[in-house]
Amino acid sequence: MDNLGRYDAIVLGAGVVGASTAWHLAQAGLSVALVDAEGPAAAASGASDGAVSVASKKPGPLARLATASLVYTRALAETGPLAQAYHPRPSYIFGTGPDETAAMDALIAKLDALGDAVRLRRDGGAGVLPGTGPGVERLLELTGEGHMPGYAAVAGYLSDPRIARIWPARVLGLDETDGSVTVNLGHQRLSAPRVIAALGTATPVLFPGLPVLPRAGQLFVTDRGQPGALPGALTSAAYLLAKTTNPAVLPRPPVVIDPLTTGQYLVGSTREDHADPTRVDFATLQQLMIRAAETWPALRARRVIRAFAGVRAAVSDSLPIVGLAPGSARITLATGFEGDGICLSAVIGREVARMATGMAPAADLLADLATLSPARFPSLQESVA
């Protein structure tokens, strides 16, 4: 006997990506341990908006993967683990001025090319949604998208009792031999033939050199009112521009106003290049509040009851990192989801579980998943070799 906890698979990080991956591995009949330094949804997944949005994704692989994930999320919400987490609602994209109008035209073309998962229902002026303010010149109404708080999605995936939960337990190191990977937790060691590292911003601590950078975001939540006044999320077209342009040169800061089922509004979020989830400042939030109230004046009658920040894991080329870790045959990385991880988590968890068990990815996603491979950073492969 030794004191090694043995599993078929070990997932590191109990954010939404790790939890989804653990759930899919358990569904495949594997014994799975899910390890977290603090607990479930302790980092970005517990401090984010939860837009499951195709509209906001950069055209190309991310938009196609988001579409697949939206469709799969809806299926998992019907009778599966996301039943209490995901709820469908319309989404509204608004804009002012030539840059935002052009971004909205590009969005319509992108959605047409992606099939019918998300449809344009109306394209008009402020009259599309009574109650909007003077900051809204053009407004699109989309159907098909929804909202899913990250912590609720994690709770849904953890409803599978076969997942062994190991927290608080910080991974201090990984040792890969011919047949297995040993996970060093200090007081305890675990071993499995396959390990999935879904560590968000902490990825470079265990995998030095990976270009994962912190990008913080502040949000605020209002008190409760009558639910339904705003039927769906109101997102500025500046958000679409932020995906392709340096946010520092945007004409107006992006804002998303998401009505929660509780009758509260969740309003976010900034993009700041630091890693401190405790940094919440009034000047920045005031800008967000002014912008939100210009867009949805009913917000002026609400009180802000909580402000908080989360830290996204961004990658230098703005694509997530999914695939075998450089120089490894047994450790799969799933990180760098920036502002898209809640939306992508269903499909990424499913596909990472397939990769880790040696199955081919879904045929229609093969090429897009290949673009996320860590092998796209050749200097990293050389430095590890």
Binding site for ligand FAD (CB under 6 A): 12-18, 35-38, 42-45, 47-51, 150, 170-171, 198-200, 202, 217, 219, 268-269, 310-312, 335, 337-343
Residue with tokens 């159907």: 143
Q: How far is the CB of 125 from ligand FAD (least distance, A)?
A: 26
Q: How far is the CB of 167 from ligand FAD (least distance, A)?
A: 8
Q: How far apart are CA 201 and CA 213, in angstroms?
A: 7
3: exposed, middle or buried (Cβ count in 10 Å: 0-12, 13-18, 19+): exposed
How long a stretch of residues is the chain? 385
Q: How far apart are CA 194 and CA 354, in angstroms?
A: 12
Contacts of 359 (CB under 8 A, 6+ apart): none
The DSSP string of 98-137 is HHHHHHHHHHHHHHHHT-SSSEEEEEESGGGSTT--TT-S
Closest to ligand FAD by CB, 102 or 206? 206
Closest to ligand FAD by CB, 299 or 333? 333
Q: How far is the CB of 225 from ligand FAD (least distance, A)?
A: 21
Can you name the residues that pair with 166 across neighbouring β-strands? 35
Closest to ligand FAD by CB, 332 or 335? 335
Q: How far is the CB of 136 from ligand FAD (least distance, A)?
A: 20
Six-digit token string for 145: 């998208």
Q: How far is the CB of 185 from ligand FAD (least distance, A)?
A: 8
Closest to ligand FAD by CB, 101 or 284? 284
Return the SS3 of 248.
helix
Q: How far is the CB of 249 from ligand FAD (least distance, A)?
A: 21
Q: How far is the CB of 98 from ligand FAD (least distance, A)?
A: 26
Closest to ligand FAD by CB, 101 or 352? 352
Q: How far is the CB of 318 from ligand FAD (least distance, A)?
A: 13
Closest to ligand FAD by CB, 26 or 202? 202
313: exposed, middle or buried (Cβ count in 10 Å: 0-12, 13-18, 19+): buried
Closest to ligand FAD by CB, 111 or 183? 183
Q: How far apart are CA 25 and CA 162, in angstroms?
A: 10
Closest to ligand FAD by CB, 38 or 281? 38
Six-digit token string for 332: 């799969």
Q: What share of the chain is helix, strand, coil (3-state, %, to 5)?
A: 35, 25, 40
Q: How far is the CB of 127 from ligand FAD (least distance, A)?
A: 27
Which residue, among 146, 153, 148, has the nearest Cα to 18 in the 3D structure? Answer: 153
Closest to ligand FAD by CB, 20 or 96? 20
Instruction: Locate all alpha helices (DSSP H) within the chain, ordered by sequence.
Output: 16-27, 61-78, 97-113, 150-157, 203-206, 238-244, 282-295, 341-356, 366-370, 378-384
